Amino acid sequence: MPAFELRYAVSETPVPSHTRQMQETAITDLALSNALLVAKALSLTASDLLRDATLVETARAEYTERIG
């Protein structure tokens, strides 16, 4: 099955990962707000997939087609 790496903005400007600057930025209102939006989107996507098995099968078929 496909997998992905999820990234989202924690500040208006890029911040290097695994730094003190990221630590300080990660506790801002913007970072929290964006984290909650991402969590909601992931939860709603999971809910859709659990309610409609055809979505899973469609995604699986598309993935199979893409990888050849």
Q: What are 2's two structure tokens?
A: 């496909």
Q: What are 16's two structure tokens?
A: 């290097």
Chain segment 15-31, per-residue pLDDT in tens: 999 999 999 999 999 99
pLDDT category at 3 given cuts 50, 70, 90 is: confident
Residue 65 CA neighbour count, 13 Å, CB half:
6
* Residue with the two structure tokens 């999971």: 46
Chain segment 35-63, per-residue pLDDT in tens: 999 999 999 999 999 999 999 999 899 98
